[in-house]
């Protein structure tokens, strides 16, 4: 009998010296792998994973002389006697295997090859282990997890990084949250597997040519989940089933959102809404940005500038417009809630130095959203001062959270040190309002956040790409970011149309960028106009606390961009309105199955090898292919049309067979958009 393995309630266990490995079925075609060198596994946290119904998953487990095997549906793990794990699909093809370069241990010499799956060339004097737990003096472990690298493998997902690359093979990614960076550590491989690094520690991942390495700077144990699937859609749905799906998007959220930094007064905001209605332009949501409050951490309106919130909400609703309001997690030392929150331990602690963690317009600490008592406390303030006044959707800004200095080892949360669990913060921040709103009986909850982690989607998180630059280069980065966010399981995603930082509406060059961005945003899950436009207007009351303390940007409505742009923007705004029935179909699929509305070509055409190479086009739902214009002054662009379908240009009505590349003209008032197989939705264009 093999003394290294045992079965325990449907789980396969391997143990040698201080290392314990546990593999169990988790969801359809999925396995969860945990490894620890502590006395026992931590049973208190599933992190991104939902609780698994073990009654629905009865894996096959077999223990042999040289290895042990656990199979759950289409995925199989083979664990050699030396602890090396290799994953196979149902065709017995290798999906992923641990990287191990060690000599044969004395205990295993009898088995010679140490299991049929261990290549003898990997028996090496290098002494590099797949799972390296490096002890931290007096604490936990620095963890490195190594896998063999497929040199031709393509990898997608991992959240939002400010770079142009859709295929992440060869990239090094920081596993940390920053303004405009959202680490969501799920990836999809063209080899046929999905992989979740189920660990919220700060770290990095290297998808190198010679080895794949995941690192956590400090952690208690190794935890990951893997699934096998025949198609990208099957992999994505399996992932959504174990981490959660978005609610059904409310109808109003599928239209056009108007925002700027920043509407300063109630009358200023209402006048913008009235102007949209006067011009017969559809408007679904209008947004009140930051510093509408008294102090950061008071979570209430400054009545000097917002004297009748209930009346404002009522007038907007009569116009068919939903009001969204920004709140921040920052609490100024002069806030009416600061001392109570300090006393109750509701704020993030600083390991070294003084307490302030954010210095914009005051010395502020940040709420500890990982603490359930904090979530209850802040929700009580938000409910009283916003929700009970009729505001039912929120902008949860600063969601990373944003620190004055990203010294991740200098902050401690309720759940542990930031460096060990900090990446989960945006998910807990989303959970804070979601659960409060849910208790009030609200359904179809949606809140806007600047960051996410794996599982954030189940809390109604709509993620936008942060405070990005206003340029074509930045726009190109957003295309890759949005597609990889969708693959990473965050189907609700958007950008600031035109970018956030800079951009003068009177600058002809920026106007072109803005129009192209607006056209692209028409085919994003949410179409939202925002930005800090130039020239900047000084504060109305710079020496006074409250709503007059902050500056504002130039006008940022669709009529702000000149006579040439206005009819083009109106054209696409009205197109978005006509697309609502189509968008609703896609949002239903996201809610019920976890299918991202915005996705790479390979998602629907996995058999088309060329589709895996295309990084500057995407599918918006199952029937629309979008090829944004991403370069200034472009008179045309090349478009690849996937094989296996017939494609009709939405604007010229020309029809093309799939499997070919064509050159499309790109006048300022159109972008290449193609409808699959003469879809019924061709008529909306």
Catalytic residue of the set 400, 512, 608, 617:
400
Q: Is 467 one of the catalytic residues?
A: yes
Q: Is 397 one of the catalytic residues?
A: yes
- The tokens describing 328, both together, are 């921040």
CA proximity to 93, closest of 189, 25, 14, 27: 189
- The tokens describing 411, both together, are 């902050």
Number of other CB atoms surrounding residue 314 within 10 Å? 12
Catalytic residue of the set 236, 397, 519, 608:
397
Calpha distance 644→659 (Å, rounded)? 7
DSSP-derived pairing of the beta strands 673-676 and 67-72:
unpaired
Contact assessment for residue 621 and residue 653, using Cβ atoms and an 8 Å cutoff: no
Calpha distance 685→673 (Å, rounded)? 10
Q: How many CA atoms lie within 13 A of 505 on its CB side?
A: 22
Calpha distance 153→536 (Å, rounded)? 47
User: Can you give the C-alpha Rg of the chain in angstroms?
Assistant: 26
Residue 34: C-alpha distances to residues 185, 199, 410, 620 (Å) = 16, 11, 28, 37
Calpha distance 363→367 (Å, rounded)? 13
Contact assessment for residue 446 and residue 287, using Cβ atoms and an 8 Å cutoff: no
Q: Is 308 one of the catalytic residues?
A: no
Farthest CA pair distance, the chain = 85
The DSSP annotation for 593-655 comes to: H---SEE-HHHH-TT-GGGGT--S-EEETTTEEE----STT-SEEEEEE-TTSEEEETTT--E
- The tokens describing 427, both together, are 């998910």
Annotate 41-58 with b (16+ C-beta within 10 A) or e (fewer): eeeebbbbbeebeeeebe
Number of other CB atoms surrounding residue 500 within 10 Å? 24
The values of phi and psi at residue 494, to 5°, are: -155, 175
Catalytic residue of the set 140, 236, 332, 467:
467
Calpha distance 351→363 (Å, rounded)? 17
Secondary-structure breakdown of the chain: helix, strand, coil percentages, each rounded to the nearest 5: 25, 30, 45
Residue written as tokens 């504060």?
539
| Cis ω for the linkage preceding 577 (within 30 of 0) | no
Q: How many CA atoms lie within 13 A of 324 on its CB side?
A: 28
Q: Strand pairing partners for 365?
A: 331
Contact assessment for residue 551 and residue 536, using Cβ atoms and an 8 Å cutoff: yes
Please list the active-site residues. 397, 400, 467
């Amino acid at each position: 009998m093999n003394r290294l393995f045992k079965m325990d309630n449907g789980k396969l266990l391997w143990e040698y010296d201080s290392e314990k490995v546990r593999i169990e079925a988790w969801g359809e075609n999925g396995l969860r792998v945990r490894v620890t060198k502590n006395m026992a596994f931590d049973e208190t946290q599933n992190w991104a994973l939902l609780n698994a119904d073990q009654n629905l998953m009865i894996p096959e487990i077999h223990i042999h002389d040289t290895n042990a095997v656990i199979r759950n549906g289409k995925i199989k793990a083979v664990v050699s006697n030396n602890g090396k794990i290799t994953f196979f699909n149902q065709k017995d093809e290798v999906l992923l295997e641990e990287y191990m370069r060690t000599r044969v241990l004395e205990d295993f010499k009898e088995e010679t090859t140490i299991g049929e799956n261990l290549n003898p060339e990997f028996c090496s004097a290098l002494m590099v282990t797949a799972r390296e737990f490096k002890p931290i003096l007096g604490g936990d472990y620095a963890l490195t997890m190594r896998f063999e690298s497929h040199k031709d493998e393509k990898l997608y997902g991992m959240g939002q990084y400010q770079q142009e690359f859709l295929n992440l093979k060869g990239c090094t990614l920081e596993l940390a949250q920053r303004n405009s960076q959202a680490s969501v550590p799920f990836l999809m491989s063209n080899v046929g597997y999905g992989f979740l690094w189920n660990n919220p520690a700060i770290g990095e991942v290297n998808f190198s040519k010679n080895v794949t390495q995941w690192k956590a700077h400090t952690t208690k144990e190794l935890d990951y989940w893997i699934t096998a699937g025949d198609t990208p859609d099957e992999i994505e749905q399996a992932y959504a089933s174990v981490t959660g799906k978005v609610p059904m998007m409310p109808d109003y959220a599928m239209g056009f959102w108007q925002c700027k930094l920043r509407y300063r007064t109630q009358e200023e905001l209402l006048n913008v809404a009235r102007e949209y209605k006067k011009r017969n332009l559809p408007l679904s949501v209008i947004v009140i940005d930051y510093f509408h409050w008294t102090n950061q951490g008071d979570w209430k309106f400054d009545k000097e500038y917002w004297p009748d919130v209930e009346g404002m909400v009522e007038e907007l609703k009569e116009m068919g417009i939903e009001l969204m309001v920004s709140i921040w997690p920052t609490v100024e030392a002069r806030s009416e809630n600061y001392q109570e929150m300090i006393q109750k331990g509701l704020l993030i602690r600083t390991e070294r130095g003084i307490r302030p963690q954010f210095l914009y317009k005051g010395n502020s600490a940040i709420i500890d959203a990982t603490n359930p008592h904090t979530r209850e406390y802040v929700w009580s303030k938000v409910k009283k001062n916003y929700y009970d006044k009729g505001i039912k959707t929120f902008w949860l800004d600063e969601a990373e959270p944003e620190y004055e200095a990203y010294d991740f080892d200098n902050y401690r949360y309720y759940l542990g040190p930031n460096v060990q669990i900090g990446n989960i913060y945006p998910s807990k921040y989303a959970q804070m309002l979601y659960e409060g709103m849910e208790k009030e009986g609200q359904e179809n909850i949606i809140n806007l956040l600047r960051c996410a982690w794996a599982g954030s989607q189940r809390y109604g998180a709509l993620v936008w790409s942060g405070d990005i630059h206003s340029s074509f280069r930045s726009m190109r980065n957003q295309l890759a970011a949005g597609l990889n966010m969708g693959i990473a399981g965050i189907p609700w995603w958007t950008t600031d149309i035109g970018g956030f930082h800079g951009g003068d509406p009177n600058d002809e060059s920026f106007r072109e960028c803005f129009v192209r961005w607006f056209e692209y945003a028409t085919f994003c899950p949410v179409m939202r106009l925002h930005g800090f436009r130039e020239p900047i207007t000084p504060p109305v009351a710079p020496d006074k606390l409250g709503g007059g303390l902050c500056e504002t940007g130039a006008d940022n409505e669709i009529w702000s961009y000149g006579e040439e742009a206005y009819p083009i923007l109106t054209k696409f705004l009205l197109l978005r309105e006509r697309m609502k029935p189509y968008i609703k179909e896609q949002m239903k699929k996201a809610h019920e199955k976890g299918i991202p509305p915005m996705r790479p070509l390979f998602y629907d055409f996995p058999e088309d090898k060329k589709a895996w190479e295309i990084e500057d086009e995407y599918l918006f739902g199952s029937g629309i292919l979008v090829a944004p214009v991403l370069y200034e002054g472009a008179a045309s662009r090349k478009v690849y049309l996937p094989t296996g379908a017939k494609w009709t240009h939405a604007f010229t009505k020309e029809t093309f067979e799939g499997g070919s590349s064509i050159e499309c003209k790109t006048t300022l008032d159109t972008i290449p958009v193609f409808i699959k197989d003469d879809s019924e939705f061709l008529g909306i264009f």
